[in-house]
Structure 1
Amino acid sequence: MDLTQILTFASVTALLVMSPGPNGLLIAKTVPTSGRAAGFANIAGFIAAFFVHGTLSILGISAILMASATAFAFIKLLGAAYLIWIGVKALIGAWRGGTPPVEVQAARRPRSLRRAFVEGFLTNALNPKVSMFYLAAFPQFIAASHAGIGSAYLLVVVHSLINALWFGWMVLMFAQLGRFSRSTRVQRWLKGVTGVVFIGFGLKLASLRQG
């Protein structure tokens, strides 16, 4: 796997991580009442869940790639369709405008670090979009590099690092970032860029050939 492939994956992943979602909402709930340490424990839980999703996706894709060219073509087109669907949905959201700010209910009592970790893990582990993203994105990198499981886990590490950097910054700068991330203008811009990138990524995956 070359640097260009890694940077391409990192760019798409960064947009996915930065888009508003359940991880950001959990950080928003945790930090004001339980502090920065609990927020970082949430992030540790997110990362642990990435490796669970990644392992399941890697094992499944590896079996498919070894099975037949027909199976590879099926998962490739399914993944491409999913990425394009994400892109189209994001563009529609950008066209319609940003979503209204979400009121976050504070916890009744501070979370322990263990509880914060478990909450972060379950939030990510129970989110099927993570596995769907891996299933859609991994084939073009695994097939192109022939490096198999090692390269796929490298992508999981890249995803985890981007997640840690983004949400770590959110924990440290939550008061300012909370208003910024809910800005209608910012949401429309982010959705528009995400839509274009994911549609292009899906079209690239659809044109990929096995081997």
Structure 2
Amino acid sequence: MRRRCDSTAGPHPLSLPRRPARTPEARGGRAWSANALNPKIAVFCTGLLPTPAPPRLPTAWAVALLVLLPTLLTLAWLGGYVLLLSKAVQVLHRPRVHRALGRTTGVVLIGFGLAVAGTAG
């Protein structure tokens, strides 16, 4: 039998305190800073980008082009991702959807674990 949560009993012991909602600009800035400070990107740009640089262009222009293209693609991808999730957040916070996502990801993770366990032995 399920017990109903009584509002006079205080907050649920596992609940996190509510934070104020972030603006789309703040979310975008956080995503940009996480991407810009990623050390893998710096290693990739300095190690791999000069290799396929077009030989007809001066080196500085070729490398700038090869850096700008992925940067613009990443900016478009993250911007679209932020916009999509900012619209979907109300749907994703519905209890029914939240439970379904939790169950689905649980089943997928258990399946992955069983697959790894089956191949490891």
Q: TM-score range by the shorter chain?
A: 0.3 to 0.5
Structure number, greater radius of gyration: 2
More helix as a share of residues? 1
TM superposition score normalised by structure 1? 0.29
TM-score (normalised: structure 2)? 0.46
Q: Which has the higher contact order (CA 8 A, sep 6+)?
A: 1
